[in-house]
Amino acid sequence: MFPNLKTWLPVCCILSALTACGPQYSLSEQDLQHAQTFAIQYDSDSRIHQDVLKVWYDDERTIEIAYGVRLANNNPESKPSLWLNFGGPGAANLSLFKKNLNNNVYPTDLLNNYNIVIIEPRGSGGSGLSDFFSQHTTIKSLSGYHDLLRIGTEALVQDMESLREHLNNHPIQGIQLEMERMHLLGYSYGSVVMANYTHHHPDRVHALILDSPAQIMATSKPTGPASMSPADRSISAAPTATSLAPNLMLNFVRCIDYDYNIFKSTQSGQTQKQPITKSNYFCQALAPWYEPKHIFHLKESSVLADRSPNPLLVSSEEDSTTPHQWALDVKNKLISDAYFIKINKRDQHGISFRNITSLDTRCIVPYLNRPSTFEGCGTTNTRLDENNNIAITLLP
């Protein structure tokens, strides 16, 4: 999957203006270890077991993947698993989950009856390469690492499956968990992760929620580096940029997930690829060695369209981060039978378990409990919360 030395060295020379075929560096064993601040422990108060799993980084080295499992309050050995991803890319998922726990956003029914699994993506949170990225925050400090590209959505999907197999065969605190069928909930970019996992392992997924979904299929606006926000583009286009934080991981994963050629709109409205230039300098600096298109495009997959039970899409009508139209594109062009909850006239990014209690108890948890027989949580324009003026539309 990743080009060997003979493959990337000529590419490096071709892009000599970028790398000057200068010193090439390799990640150290310490770089691939879990973050120094990550504690391997079991917190009995929150019922969270934290640990790391070693998975293969390349043919010779392993990387440590940090994860946490919050055991169900009632009989965890017989309860299903719910896997959460809060997006990013680069989100510290375990810290965000603990913050939500402390803020009491999860319904008691959920905490009683689900073992909640959190995995930290490579380079994020407590996983390997997290300390590396916190210490290397400029293009210059990153561009020499030719072995840095085993990261991104495809790698995370593989790590999820490795963790599922591990948990299915190794008890936690003497409790053997059931991990054959999973419930998945992805927010924003997390929807890309969960959709990709479902694409590769459809028989493992019992329920799938895509909340405030990112652009996980081709639409009128091309994905990849060309669709960066103006702020991202200003960073990417500046060879003299000194710091890329906090957009470093977001841009980096975009470059790895998608072809690093940029897209150019034509007068006819179509898109054409054109060679990389300084206008996408960030991707040009980081990605001369990888094979593009590591993740699938949903429009090419019949797996999600043919899923039973159907996925659940949740979107806010005026979401300024991931436009509501992106969720509509997924439903209208791919998963026409998906359940769809639209929060009317509200700009909210990330909806499930965000202190809209009535939505969680009447819609989200019932879907997780019975995805095959889910009958919705109301009728068109149901008003869930009179005090906060939260209303939903259930699209047919």
At 11 the pLDDT is 38
At 139 the pLDDT is 60
- Measure the N-to-C terminal CA separation of the chain; round to a whole number of Å: 41
Q: Please report the sign of the dihedral spanned by the C-alpha atoms of residue 31, residue 34, residue 36, residue 37.
A: positive
Q: Residues 20-28: what's their mean pLDDT? A: 70
Tokens of residue 198, six digits: 């479902």
pLDDT band at residue 381 using 50, 70 and 90 as cut-offs: low
Structure confidence by residue, pLDDT tens digits, 55-70:
999 889 999 999 999 9
Among candidate residues 21, 12, 27, 14, the one with its CA nearest the CA of residue 132: 27
- Contact 94/41 with Cβ under 8 angstroms? no
User: Would the pLDDT of 72 be above 60?
Assistant: yes
User: Would the pLDDT of 12 be above 70?
Assistant: no
Report the amino acid identity of residue 251: N
User: Would the pLDDT of 241 be above 80?
Assistant: no
Q: Is residue 22 part of a domain?
A: no
At 138 the pLDDT is 66
Tokens of residue 77, six digits: 């050995």
What is residue 361's DSSP assignment?
I
At 78 the pLDDT is 94
Q: Residues 325-342: what's their mean pLDDT? A: 83
Lowest mean pLDDT among 127-141, 203-217, 264-278: 264-278
Q: Is residue 251 part of a domain?
A: no
Q: Residues 126-152: what's their mean pLDDT? A: 79
Q: What CATH number did the domain enclosing 378 receive?
A: 3.40.50.1820
User: Would the pLDDT of 254 be above 80?
Assistant: no
Q: Is residue 225 part of a domain?
A: no
User: Would the pLDDT of 158 be above 80?
Assistant: yes
Structure confidence by residue, pLDDT tens digits, 288-324:
333 333 444 455 556 677 776 789 999 988 888 888 8
Q: At what angle do helices 189-200 and 153-169 cross, to 10 degrees?
A: 60
At 7 the pLDDT is 43
What 145-148 contacts at long range (C-beta under 8 Å, 24+ apart), as own/partner pairs, is 145/24, 145/25, 145/26, 145/27, 146/8, 146/12, 146/24, 146/25, 146/26, 146/289, 147/26, 147/27, 147/58, 148/27, 148/286
Does the reported pTM lie above 0.85?
Answer: no
Number of domains in the chain: 1
At 326 the pLDDT is 84
What is 111-159 written as a DSSP string?
HHH-EEEEEPPTTSTTSTTHHHHHH--SHHHHTTBTT--S-SHHHHHHH
User: Would the pLDDT of 371 be above 50?
Assistant: yes
Cα–Cα dist 191/208, whole Å: 9
Residue 207, domain extent: 64-119+150-218+296-395
Q: Is residue 175 part of a domain?
A: yes
Q: What percent of the chain stands above pLDDT 90?
A: 36
Cα–Cα dist 308/295, whole Å: 23
At 248 the pLDDT is 58
Q: Which residues pair with 85 in a beta bridge?
A: 186
User: Which are the contacts of 247, defined by CB distance < 8 A and separation ≥ 6?
Assistant: 231, 232, 235
Q: Is residue 3 part of a domain?
A: no
Q: Residues 96-113: what's their mean pLDDT? A: 94
Q: Is residue 285 part of a domain?
A: no
Q: Is residue 139 part of a domain?
A: no
Q: Residues 267-282: what's their mean pLDDT? A: 42
Neighbours of 168 (CB within 10 A): 13
Q: Which residues pair with 211 in a beta bridge?
A: 187, 314
User: Would the pLDDT of 277 be above 50?
Assistant: no
Q: Which run of H or of E encompasses 367?
A: helix 365-369
User: Would the pLDDT of 372 be above 50?
Assistant: yes
Which is more confidently placed, 394 or 338?
Answer: 338
Q: Is residue 161 part of a domain?
A: yes
Structure confidence by residue, pLDDT tens digits, 216-227:
643 222 333 333
User: Would the pLDDT of 140 be above 60?
Assistant: yes
Q: What mean pLDDT is reported for the chain? A: 74
